[in-house]
Amino acid sequence: MLDRDDPELLTEEKWQAIVRNDESHDFKFFYAVTSTGIFCRPSCKSKVPNRDNVRIFRNAEQAMREEFRPCKRCKPTGERLPDREWVGIMTDYMDKNFAEPITLTDLAEVCHGSPYHLHRTFKRIMDMTPAEYLQNIRIEKAQDYLRNTSKSAREIGSLVGFQHTSYFITVFKRRTGCTPAEYRQQRIDGR
Ligand SMILES: [Zn+2]
């Protein structure tokens, strides 16, 4: 049973503090966003989350114990999140959302940082850009579908996040050296 004083309850007052980036609530509580795995101070300038995805914590340790990671932007623990951890948030996000259109700006919003800094840090740590990483996942998923389903190239392209079939085929060929149809045929032939 939750009573009115439950410190982990998302009250209207807390919600308003989050929406208004109200600094006077900082360190009275923290909020975590379940869809991104990040937690923030109420004053964080990042995009207002979907209310259904918000969880409230009394302190940063609790949030971290539940495997939420401190936001890079508002630094709820007072320390900088290590770059490698931050890049981990981006790759997790892309691993889960590859089927959606994801721009660098979206990623910057979700992962709480500037697009420029995000791009640079990602490249330094992963040795590829976020766009290349995303394309790798999409092509791998497409290969999975080609091997294991009879879906058309058009369907598969859209399932893995390409909005245009012709672009999907071009990228697929550039990455794998063959078209989706050839790739599937080779698997059938056992080559
Ligand atoms: Zn934040």
Q: Are residues 28 and 95 in the same domain?
A: no
The verdict on residue 161 lying in a domain is: yes
Q: Are residues 128 and 48 in the same domain?
A: no
Domain that holds residue 170: 82-191
CATH code for the domain of 46: 3.40.10.10
Single out the residue in 70, 101, 120 at which a domain terminates. 70
pLDDT tens by residue, 127-180: 999 999 999 999 999 999 999 999 999 999 999 999 999 999 999 999 999 999
The verdict on residue 160 lying in a domain is: yes
The verdict on residue 75 lying in a domain is: no
Q: If pLDDT is split at 50, 70 and 90, which confidence band does 3 have?
A: very low
The verdict on residue 158 lying in a domain is: yes
The pLDDT > 90 percentage for the chain reads 69
Which tokens go with 133? 């990483």
Q: How far is ligand 1, taken at its centre, from the CA of residue 130, in Å?
A: 21
pLDDT at 191: 60
Q: Are residues 56 and 109 in the same domain?
A: no
Q: How far is ligand 1, taken at its centre, from the CA of residue 97, in Å?
A: 21
CATH code for the domain of 163: 1.10.10.60
Alpha helices by DSSP H, the chain: 12-19, 60-65, 83-97, 104-111, 115-126, 130-148, 153-159, 165-176, 180-189
How many CA atoms are closer than 13 Å to the CA of 47, on its beta-carbon side?
Answer: 16
Q: Are residues 102 and 167 in the same domain?
A: yes
Residues 6+ apart with CB under 8 A from 3: none
Amino acid at 46: S
pLDDT at 6: 75
pLDDT tens by residue, 24-43: 898 889 999 999 999 999 99
Quote the CA–CA distance of 105 and 185 in Å, as a whole number: 38
The verdict on residue 180 lying in a domain is: yes
Q: If pLDDT is split at 50, 70 and 90, which confidence band does 112 have?
A: confident
Quote the CA–CA distance of 148 and 137 in Å, as a whole number: 16
Q: How far is ligand 1, taken at its centre, from the CA of residue 31, in Å?
A: 9
40 is catalytic: yes
The verdict on residue 54 lying in a domain is: yes
32: nearest Cα among 42, 24, 45: 42
Q: Are residues 58 and 100 in the same domain?
A: no
Number of domains in the chain: 2
Q: Are residues 49 and 133 in the same domain?
A: no
The verdict on residue 5 lying in a domain is: no
pLDDT at 10: 93
Q: How far is ligand 1, taken at its centre, from the CA of residue 66, in Å?
A: 17
